[in-house]
Amino acid sequence: MLQSLSIKNYAIIESVEIQFDKHLNIITGETGAGKSILLGAMNLILGKRADTSVLRNADEKCLVEAVFSIKNYSLKKFFSDNDLEYENETIIRRELNTNGKSRAFINDSPVTLDVLKALTEQLVDIHAQSETQNLLDKFFFCEILDELAKQTAVVKDYQTNYQQYKIKQNRLTHLQNEQISLQKEFDFISFQLNELTEANLNEDEAAQLESELSLLQNAETITRNLADAYSLIDANEFSALSQLLQANKQIGQLANFHDVLLEMHDKLSAITDDLKSMTRQITNIADATEYNEERVLLLTEKQTTINKLLQKHHVSEVKNLLEIQHSLQQKVDAFSNSTEEILQLETEIKQDKKTLLTAAQSISKNRNKQIKIAENKVSALLVDLGMPFGFIQLEQKIAEAEKLNAFGIDEIRLLFSANKGSLPQPLDEVGSGGEKSRLMLAIKSLVAETITLPTLIFDEIDTGISGEVAQKVGTILKELGKKHQVISITHLPQVAAKANKHFFVYKNHEKEKTFTEIKTLSGDERLHEIAVMLSGNNPPKEALENAKRLLN
């Protein structure tokens, strides 16, 4: 329920604040006084876009704030899902700055317009003549019939499962398209992957191959030179090692006589130890170095393979080839995995569809039972609303078994006739604006019997009617207001007289400025306003008496 609305610096509104009644609120005023401006400001709360053209004072920001009582709307999950603080009395605020940028807040937390719309569409339903398009929606009456059949919880469960079903379908389509695209190059990818896998690459392999090949290809020179080196170091009593050992022996006998000689003896001992180690290494390398033609051919072939792969893939290092191999392997794995997932999804979707279809058929049967009831109730209300021969017909079309939708298997079209003897026709082909508006009021009244509607705002829904019909419209709005909050902008005194709270919108002219004001009417002020609505300014005594009768 909308408790209050505060507007500052919007169009010709300088500052107004309205406290609404929980039942029927009526807004009246002269044409151009600003009633539609109030609605425009309300649209900001509902998440509509605006620009600086709505600023009354271009140097100040526009502020619109609404307070809603939301304890009856089961919205705690919405607040939790959007990380918002829940309050039974929730404050929604829109600010439009002088630079054209706007901000939206729910309980002082900034939100996007999408979040704002998602919340307020559950709180406020604005109906104007231009919004009868809902009646043309093939699913609009599905919801109404579900309410009458008291199966909204069942339908919500169906819709939750249907949403998961569609997600699976979209995933399956994506995988199938991806696989079709990949299939075209799968054989080539597999060939490239096999080629790289068979090469049995490792990152340091190129350098190792080059080193070993160089060793094998120069084996003869290496062994000859190592033999000569060994001979010079340690082959006989005149070799370098023998000579150093003899020299160190002589110096060692003198080490006790001089510190330098002791140090020299230690260094020569270390050198001879190193030489002995070197001779062992020379021997080991010489023994291991042997020309092996078969090994040379094998290594040369491997080196050629690597060079070809580097050239083929336009890279310079083996590590790049390994990265390519990894990428190709991922594609092959993805192809294999997607095949398994496709088979799994196809099985699940088939079963899900069977379950959904069973639920949808049950939902459809329950709707069908309510169609005649809904037709009779709406047609009866149309009689009260000045269309004695008006009636509706709901045409239920059952979709093919293979074609589910978010509401099951139904599409329901509204057919309407306002005249005696006329066959009902699609609403977009027949019916005036006033007739469509009264039809929407009748349908809202029907729905109001079974569900908790949000705040209903009617913008001149009574255009084009008068007299007894206007009285009936007022009565229906009054009845609607007993169970739901209704705000109606009207020019009809018969409707205005039914208000639980009556607001009057007028222009205030001060010096060189004109701005919209709004006040609550009661007592003589209200009586006078209704008399003015009946006969114009300066109403005669008869108009005042008539106004009294309407109010009573």
pLDDT tens for 412-466 read 998 989 888 888 988 777 767 677 778 888 888 887 766 666 788 888 777 677 7
Helix (H) or strand (E) holding 281: helix 259-288
**pLDDT per position as a tens digit, 150-201:** 998 999 999 999 999 999 999 999 988 887 877 777 778 888 888 888 877 7
Q: What is the pLDDT of residue 115?
A: 95
pLDDT in tens, 383-414: 888 888 889 999 999 887 678 999 999 999 98
Q: Residue 14 has what pLDDT?
A: 87
| CA distance linking residue 520 with residue 411, whole number of Å | 45
pLDDT reported for residue 168: 95
C-alpha of 427 from chain center: 34
Instruction: Tell me the residue type at 360.
Output: A
Split at pLDDT 50, 70, 90, the class of 122 is: confident
Q: DSSP assignment, residue 55?
A: B
Which residues neighbour 302 within 8 Å (Cβ) at sequence distance 6 or greater? Answer: 199, 205, 209
Instruction: Say which range, 100-104, 234-238, 415-419, has the weakest mean pLDDT.
Output: 234-238
Task: Work out the widest C-alpha separation in the chain, in whole angstroms.
Answer: 151
Buried b / exposed e over 31-63, threshold 16 CB at 10 Å, is: eebbbbbbbbbbbbbbbeebeeebbbeeeebbb
How high is the pLDDT of residue 340?
85
Average pLDDT over the chain reads 85
Please determine, for residue 510, whether its predicted confidence score (pLDDT) is greater than 80.
Answer: no
Cα dihedral 267, 269, 272, 277, rounded to 10, equals -100
Looking at per-residue pLDDT, the higher value among 292 and 461 belongs to 461
Helix axes 318-384, 152-198, angle to 10 degrees: 160
- The percent of residues in the chain predicted with pLDDT above 90, rounded, is 35
Specify the pLDDT at position 285.
Answer: 76
What is the spatial distance between Cα 68 and Cα 88, in angstroms, rounded to a whole number? 8
- Judged against a pLDDT cut of 90, whether residue 227 lies above it is answered with no
**Can you read off the two tokens belonging to residue 409?**
């298997």
**Residue 13 — very low, low, confident or very high, per pLDDT cuts 50/70/90?**
confident
CA dihedral sign, ordered 208, 213, 218, 223 = positive
